[in-house]
């Protein structure tokens, strides 16, 4: 006789577990206005990032393709991709990020990128979006309701879907939280996304993208601004402590740049599947 009390994988409620992890996470989500203020500095630090090359190396791009970039930011991926495909639709809920993208596109003489301001929760078709050959969500999976978002991106892809999601503490610096005496809880990372896809009948590929642990900033002020972004309601005293922590991580210093080494390299999971 089968023991009816035995639990199996099918009994796991990944949506509830992820909601619990979101509730317990050690940081606060940022809204459009906060990202608007971040647009310029974010774009500057990510323009030549190793992350871009690692992702581009995995994408099956060709000149006939259309690409949908969800959570495009200032064009970190959208602009280099646009040079290799027919067209790109860049979607972001931050007007500041899209304004920065348009400026960079103009500077690089890129004219095949269409910017659309909307969020995961919006009606994309109402915003004029249609399915594209490839749909990408790069480092933008921090949605409240994951399964509807995954269904949406899958429905807006004709050939491939590519997602990148956090692994462990990435992109946060646990040492900085410890230095400030603040608790740090990881929150949900890629394993929730992977298992949610499995319950949806999607069995994706996973490639781990490991970045360099060294990060260079043009100034100490810029480094402090970047690190303080991780904290909600940071105080003046905490800023002083944070500066001391950053100084302890400096491995080289020049008049126009400081380089720090993080305790562990940032890692992202590139999750993708063919339709």
Token output for 153: 């991106």
137 forms beta bridges with 70, 163
**β-bridge pairing 132-138 and 205-210:** unpaired
Sign of the torsion angle spanned by Cα atoms 16, 17, 18, 23: positive
Check: CB of residue 82 under 8 Å from CB of residue 76: no
Using only C-alpha atoms, what is the Rg of the chain? 20
Residue of 245, 242, 239 whose CA lies nearest to 263: 245
Residue of 45, 28, 30 whose CA lies nearest to 187: 28
What is the spatial distance between Cα 60 and Cα 181, in angstroms, rounded to a whole number? Answer: 45
Query: How many Cβ atoms are within 10 Å of 229's Cβ, its own excluded?
Result: 18
What is the spatial distance between Cα 41 and Cα 206, in angstroms, rounded to a whole number? Answer: 30
Tens digit of pLDDT at every position of the chain (275 positions)? 456 678 898 899 999 999 999 888 765 565 555 544 554 555 455 555 789 999 999 999 999 999 999 999 999 999 999 999 999 999 999 999 999 999 999 999 999 999 999 999 999 999 999 999 999 999 999 899 999 999 999 999 999 999 999 999 998 999 999 999 998 888 899 999 999 999 999 999 999 999 999 999 999 999 999 899 888 889 999 999 999 999 999 999 998 899 999 988 999 999 999 99
Return phi, psi of residue 15, to 5°: -65, -40
Q: At what angle do helices 32-46 and 95-107 cross, to 10 degrees?
A: 30
Query: Which residues fall within 8 angstroms of residue 227, CB to CB, at 6 or more apart?
Result: 173, 176, 242, 245, 246
Q: Which helix (H) or strand (E) holds 98?
A: helix 95-107
Question: Can you give the residue ranges of every domain in the chain?
Answer: 12-174+184-213+264-274
SS3 (DSSP) at 88: strand
Q: For residue 196, how far is the Cα from the chain centroid?
A: 18
| 0.85 surpassed by pTM | yes
Q: At what angle do helices 146-155 and 190-199 cross, to 10 degrees?
A: 70
Return phi, psi of residue 110, to 5°: -100, 120
Q: Which helix (H) or strand (E) holds 105?
A: helix 95-107
Query: How many Cβ atoms are within 10 Å of 134's Cβ, its own excluded?
Result: 24
| CATH number for the domain whose boundaries are 12-174+184-213+264-274 | 3.40.50.150
CA angle 245, 234, 18 (to 5 degrees): 95
What is the spatial distance between Cα 196 and Cα 75, in angstroms, rounded to a whole number? Answer: 28
């Amino acid at each position: 006789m089968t023991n009816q009390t035995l639990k199996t994988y099918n009994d796991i409620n990944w949506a509830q577990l992820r909601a619990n992890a979101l509730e317990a996470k050690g940081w606060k989500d940022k809204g459009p206005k906060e990202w608007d203020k971040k647009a310029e500095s974010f774009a500057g630090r990510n323009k030549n990032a190793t992350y871009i090359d690692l992702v581009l190396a995995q994408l099956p791009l060709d000149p006939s393709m259309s690409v949908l970039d969800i959570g495009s930011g200032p064009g970190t991926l959208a602009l280099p991709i646009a040079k290799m495909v027919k067209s790109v639709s860049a979607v972001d809920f931050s007007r500041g990020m899209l304004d920065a993208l348009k400026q960079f596109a103009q500077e690089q003489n890129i004219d095949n990128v269409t910017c659309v301001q909307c969020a995961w929760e919006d009606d994309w078709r109402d915003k004029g979006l249609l399915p594209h050959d490839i749909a990408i969500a790069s480092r933008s999976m921090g949605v409240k309701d994951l399964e509807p978002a995954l269904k949406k991106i899958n429905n807006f892809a004709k050939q491939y879907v590519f997602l990148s999601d956090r692994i462990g503490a990435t992109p946060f610096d646990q040492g900085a939280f410890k230095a400030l005496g603040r608790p740090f809880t990881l929150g949900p990372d890629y394993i929730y996304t992977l298992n949610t896809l499995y319950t949806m009948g999607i069995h994706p590929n996973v490639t781990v993208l490991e970045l360099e642990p060294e990060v260079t900033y043009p100034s100490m002020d810029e480094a402090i601004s970047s690190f303080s972004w991780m904290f909600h309601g940071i105080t003046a005293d905490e800023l002083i402590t944070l500066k001391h922590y950053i100084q302890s991580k400096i491995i080289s210093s020049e008049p126009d740049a400081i380089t720090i080494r993080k305790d562990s390299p940032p890692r992202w999971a590139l999750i993708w599947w063919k339709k």
